[in-house]
Structure 1
């Protein structure tokens, strides 16, 4: 049984991938805190409700004959990066990175990653328990 095909693991992986990408972007913001004219960036929030619906209702298209056309639906790709539109403050040189705000976002991202990781661990424990009790 391939556990990676379970919806709960796909959703947790998507959340963890999103958190890792957000961590990278926020780290770039912190690294550029003294760069004149730098605008802070962030990722668009991952909509977990829609992710759950799409993961549980997804039907994969399979090409059954070489004469059939491939699916025309493109892969949505990576997460969407956005620029903070209304920063709380900016410095005289136009830099809009507020270290306290970035550190708060980094902490929030870390907690979201840890929550998804704990969800995976708990489900793995339940699967192991169920497989042992079936003997």
Structure 2
């Protein structure tokens, strides 16, 4: 019996979270000159993981059933901005660019890990010639 590999599911969840965060950051930048606009950010990925529970499989009728919890990676909250300008707009372009750089680095790390794991799996199933 083989154990399932959850790395690809985890990487997919993080990629979805990164896409949501990038969309939120883009919205903040697009509204940088909108009076009264409040910058937003998504819940940290660690918080999303903390809410995700592993699903236990009931392989016997005597097992206690546990329902899986669903987690949304799209929970958006008000961002902690560095400052608020006269127009009551809390978007700091510098802060948003720093966040965009973080998203880019995290996405690059995510894809690099998935590529390496994929190569490792292909190497392990390759038959000797």
How many angstroms apart in 1 are the aligned matches of 2:50 and 2:76? 21
Map of 1:9 onto structure 2:
8
- For residue 113 of structure 1, the aligned residue among 107, 114, 119 is 107
Question: Once the 2 structures are TM-superposed, how far is the Cα of residue 74 of structure 1 from its aligned partner?
Answer: 5.8
TM-score of the aligned structures, taking structure 1 as reference length = 0.76
Distance 1:134 1:27, change over 3 A: same
Aligned to 2:123: 129
In proportion to residue count, which structure has more helix? 1
Of structures 1 and 2, the one scoring higher in RCO (CA 8 A, sep 6+) is: 1
Q: Where does residue 51 of structure 1 map in the other structure?
A: 49
Output the CA distance in 2 between the equivalents of 1:78 and 1:101.
21
Q: Give the alignment's Cα RMSD to 1 decimal.
A: 2.9
Unaligned residue ranges in structure 2 (runs of 5+): none
The C-alpha deviation readout for 1:23-66, integer Å capped at 9, x for no partner, is: 00000000000000000000111118x839957x432579x9xx
Distance 1:54 1:21, change over 3 A: closer
* Greater than 6 Å deviation, 4+ residue runs: none
1:76 aligns with 2:74: no
Question: Is the counterpart of residue 88 in structure 1 residue 90 in structure 2?
Answer: no
The whole-number CA distance in structure 1 between the counterparts of 2:87 and 2:44 is 29
1:76 to partner: Cα distance: 2.9
Please tell me whether the aligned partners of residues 42 and 77 of structure 2 are also in contact (alpha carbons under 8 angstroms). Answer: yes
Flag the 1:113–1:36 CA change in 2: closer, same or farther, 3 A: same
What TM-score, normalized to structure 2? 0.79
